Chains A and B, each alone.
Chain A
Amino acid sequence: MAAAICLMAAFDESRRELGAGDESRSLDAFLRGVERRALRMAELATGSRDEALDLVQDAMFGFVRHYGGHDGAEWPPLFWRVLDSRLNDWHRRQKVRGRWSFRPDDKDTDEDPIALAPDAREPGPLARMADGEATVALDAALRGLPLRQRQAFLLRIWEGLDVAATSVAMRCSEGSVKTHLSRALANLRRALEAHR
């Protein structure tokens, strides 16, 4: 009986290995689909392509190791969660090394409600810029955001995660996601309008 159990376990392992081939292909397709955006996200956070590549590679390893066996539908928020964790760690290390540059904090600012009042005639802060100029301005504005606001903006607006998935990725409440995003939109608008 014990021998049969051992052989069945080995057989089961070989079957699992065959299934792992399909899983590897799915993982490969998933990572291929997100890697470029992940790199840009990390680049905006670090300001360095080399550091961004290292962080993305680290995130891929962590994701595959910890979440590769999860259902494919769960992968997007989990991958971004791993990358977000790596970005947070990177920022913490920078802070410890004393290379932390000043960024606007997440605290509420005394915003002038008149200045923030919508103007229906205004086409938007990026509308009057050419693509090249707009890209540079957007990059600068995104880099100027605090990490959490930038992550909320990129995950929610660019990556298209819903509030719940973004809260999983950022390990915070859904209310915090909405707050970070609202502040990110206000700060981005202000930065881009100033750039014009």
Chain B
Amino acid sequence: MNLPDSKQPDSKQLDSNRPDDDRWLERAKALLDDSAGNLDAATLSRLNRARQAALATRRKGPSRWAWSAALAGAAAAVFAIAIGLHHQGGVPLGNPPPTLQAGDIDVMTSEDDLDLAENLDFYAWLGKQPAGGPSG
């Protein structure tokens, strides 16, 4: 029995051991096709629900989680950049090193991350200003 590889083999391509295999296998395929094509409405409805439920698991995906994580990361990064730029601008030696204030914690953990992300330009600009505050 040597079956050739092909994408859609029909029974003629099967090196079967009977000369009439072609005919009855074609009939068998047709009967199976009919049985699959004549399923009742209730069964088809259940199949449809099963398919939609399976697809829904893929649609959900991690997008909401990914956005939240990205925004939280962005907020933390902006603070880190702002602090770094502040140091580069030159902090008087006499001043105590900047520490994370309770207010900063509130900002970082608040639900206003979205606003923070939307104002990234502002915070970047703010970080570039001299320690004494923005002029003009």
Q: Which A residues contact B (CB, under 8 angstroms)?
A: 1-3, 6-7, 9-10, 13-14, 16-17, 20, 23-24, 27-28, 31-32, 35-37, 39-40, 49, 53, 56-57, 60-61, 63-65, 68, 116, 118-120, 122-127, 131, 134-135, 138-139, 154, 156-158, 160, 162-164, 177-179, 181-182, 185-186, 188-189, 192
With A64-B55, A118-B17 as known contacts, state yes or no: A36 contacts B50, CB within 8 Å. no
Q: Which of A37, A56, A157, A177 contacts B28 (CB 8 A)?
A: A157
Closest CB in chain B relative to A167 CB, distance in Å: 10
Q: Given A13-B70, A40-B32, A135-B34, are A53 and B59 also a contact pair (CB < 8 Å)?
A: no
A20 touches B61 (CB 8 A): yes
Chain A residues lying within 8 Å of B6, measured Cβ to Cβ, are 162
Q: Is the CB of A124 within 8 A of B23?
A: yes
Number of A-B contacts (CB under 8 A): 173
Most buried by A among B6, B36, B63: B36
Known A28-B51, A39-B36, A57-B54; judge A49-B28 contact (CB<8 A): no
* Docked complex: B36-60 residues within 8 A CB-CB of A: 36-37, 39, 43-44, 46-47, 50-51, 53-55, 57-59
A126 touching B31 by the CB < 8 A rule? yes
- Whether B74 is near chain A, meaning CB under 8 Å from some CB there, is yes
Contact of B1 among A14, A24, A158, A182 (CB under 8 A): A182
Asked if A36 meets B81 with Cβ closer than 8 Å, knowing A3-B120, A14-B63, A65-B57, the reply is no
Chain B residues near A27 (CB-CB < 8 A): 55, 58
Known: A7-B74, A9-B66, A160-B10. 5 other contacts (CB 8 A): A27-B55, A27-B58, A65-B58, A182-B17, A185-B18
The chain B residues found within 8 Å of chain A, CB to CB, are 1-11, 14, 16-21, 23-25, 27-29, 31-37, 39, 43-44, 46-47, 50-51, 53-55, 57-59, 61-63, 66-67, 70-71, 73-74, 76-78, 80-81, 117, 120
